[in-house]
Amino acid sequence: GGDLRVEKYLQPFQLSPETLQEVSARLRKDLLRGLGKHSHHKAPVKMLPTFVRATPDGTEKGDFLALDLGGTNFRVLHVRVEEEAQKVLKMDSQICAIPQEMMLGTGEQLFDHIATCLGDFLESHNLKGQTLPLGFTFSFPCEQLEIDKSILIRWTKGFNCSGVEGKDVVQLLKEAIHRRGDYHIGSVAMVNDTVGTMMSCGYKDQSCEIGMIIGTGTNACYMEEIKNVKRIEGEDGRMCINTEWGGFGDDGCLDDILTEFDVEVDKTSINPGVHIFEKMISGMYLGEIVRLVLVKMTKDKLLFKGQISEALGTCGLFETKFISEIEEPDSGLENAKKILTELGLDWSLVDASVVRLVCDTISSRSAYLCAAALATLVNRIRNNRKLGHLKTTVGVDGTVYRKHPTSKLQKAVRLLAPQCDITFLVSEDGSGKGAAMVTAVAQRLAHQSRLLEESDGEDNEEEEEEEGQ
Ligand code: BGC
């Protein structure tokens, strides 16, 4: 009897291969809507151009600063790209906490704080006199107009600073630095963390053309043919597109697979109705989904003798990191007991194993949904290039990817994209180093086009001379 009732709760989270295929097909349509000239402004999956037109070719080099804002912490880095060693080295870095109040305060406060952290870093590393180019990883959906002009569309992941949405984030950063007036920065390149991740892996493995994050939030970017990006002029070459797949489902197209718990998590979030896909997958929400399931099961007298503790009854107190601890193959059950005790619950052995099952079910769903979305991207790249078989590399980062078993995700992608052979490369410090890499590639391209112009110029002179003769 008990087992069946447990099953009843978990079944809506268990997505069959057919359902995943259907999810992947829906995303395929949404990618097209996002890329279309007339459909993009209403598209839930925004498919944002990044102005990154090339992945590294291995000749980049130099010293850079990088800022990384978008997860739980803000980081400043000094990065060196070494051509000889084909390595991106993190010389130094510093973490600055962003207090909760600041995440919900004014934009000016936030950017002043960022400028202060950067100033302190430059000061303590003796870099204040130099004017280094800066890569700014800003992991929120932005309408990018240039590599250094990027308008925040909306905040996600618990941030909600006033006066930033609709504004150019690079400008806000420069203004904050200007207000201080004690140091300068060189050219700025803005990147999403997915792009940073792809680019930092791309230095090591030049077939890396997808970047994926499964952390506090979730998202991916990939190299698309420019001719398919209808908002951008040009027919030749590729551009990296920031899909913002977290917004998949915002038009209701995933309603049939949402559980009552997903609906509840969305309703109580600070951004109801948006980033529906992200809320089923990413670290900011997984713990809360588990908590809501456990509460309901307890009310139904399936767990903890029907007694909900104060902690279990409190929003946000079942942390996502508990899930990976409870899922651990060897020590999982022991961890579960410890966590349940800390949450003030009167548990039995059966309770502990049911909790494990709940955690496993919800983290598996997250992995499978990501797999479905990733399959859509690799299948698209394969079709774009009219290849029977595609071999490609995905740069990945994020705590949810790192801390949870990845075999499920990988197996599911193989099933959903059988003609693609995918290598997963976990990026170390990708979003920081990658921003530097983007800056480095942009410099290389600018340098190359200057050389081209110069040699064009020479040709012209010759022609003129010829005409004159
Ligand atoms: C943001 C993306 C970001 C992702 C992962 C999402 O909430 O909208 O821009 O890439 O989180 O950090």
| pLDDT by 10s per residue, the chain, length 469 | 457 889 999 999 999 999 999 999 999 999 999 999 999 999 999 999 998 988 888 888 899 999 999 877 899 999 998 888 778 888 899 999 899 899 999 999 999 999 999 999 999 999 998 889 999 999 999 999 988 999 999 999 999 999 999 999 999 999 999 999 999 998 899 999 999 999 988 888 889 999 999 999 999 999 999 999 998 888 899 999 999 999 999 999 999 999 999 999 999 999 999 999 999 999 999 999 999 999 999 999 999 999 999 999 999 999 999 999 999 999 999 999 999 999 999 999 999 999 999 999 999 999 999 999 999 999 999 999 999 999 999 999 999 999 988 899 999 999 999 999 999 999 988 888 888 888 888 888 888 888 888 887 665 544 444 443 3
Can you give the pLDDT at residue 468? 38
Can you give the pLDDT at residue 2? 56
Q: Name the residue at shortest CA distance from atom 8 of ligand 1.
A: 140
Write out residues with Cβ below 6 Å of ligand 1. 70, 139-141, 156-157, 192-194, 213, 215, 217-219, 244, 246, 278
Residues 424 and 116: their CA atoms lie apart, in Å, by 36
Mutate to test the pocket of ligand 1, among 219, 248, 396 (most ligand atoms within 8 A of CB): 219
The full DSSP string for 333-370 is HHHHHHHHHHTT----HHHHHHHHHHHHHHHHHHHHHH
Catalytic residue among 112, 148, 168, 193: 193
Residues 176 and 111: their CA atoms lie apart, in Å, by 6
Residues 87 and 82: their CA atoms lie apart, in Å, by 5
The rounded Å distance from CA 119 to ligand 1 centre is 26
Can you give the pLDDT at residue 461? 47
What's the token pair of residue 248?
């998949």
Atom of ligand 1 nearest to the CA of 275: 7
Per residue, what are the HEC states of 53-65?
CCCCCCCCCEEEE
Can you give the pLDDT at residue 452? 82
Residues 433 and 427: their CA atoms lie apart, in Å, by 9
Mutate to test the pocket of ligand 1, among 72, 74, 157, 250 (most ligand atoms within 8 A of CB): 157
Can you give the pLDDT at residue 465? 41
Catalytic residue among 30, 46, 148, 157: 157
Residue 233 falls in which region: left (phi positive, over 0), alpha (psi -120 to 50) or beta: beta
Is 193 among the catalytic positions? yes
Instruction: Specify the 3-state DSSP secondary structure of 74.
Output: strand
The rounded Å distance from CA 139 to ligand 1 centre is 5
Mutate to test the pocket of ligand 1, among 156, 270, 274 (most ligand atoms within 8 A of CB): 156
Residue written as tokens 């070459």? 237
Can you give the pLDDT at residue 469? 35
The rounded Å distance from CA 68 to ligand 1 centre is 12
Can you give the pLDDT at residue 462? 45
Is 157 among the catalytic positions? yes
Under 8 Å CB-to-CB from 429, ≥6 apart: which residues? Answer: 77, 90, 93, 200
The rounded Å distance from CA 239 to ligand 1 centre is 19
The rounded Å distance from CA 158 to ligand 1 centre is 11
Atom of ligand 1 nearest to the CA of 217: 11
The rounded Å distance from CA 330 to ligand 1 centre is 32
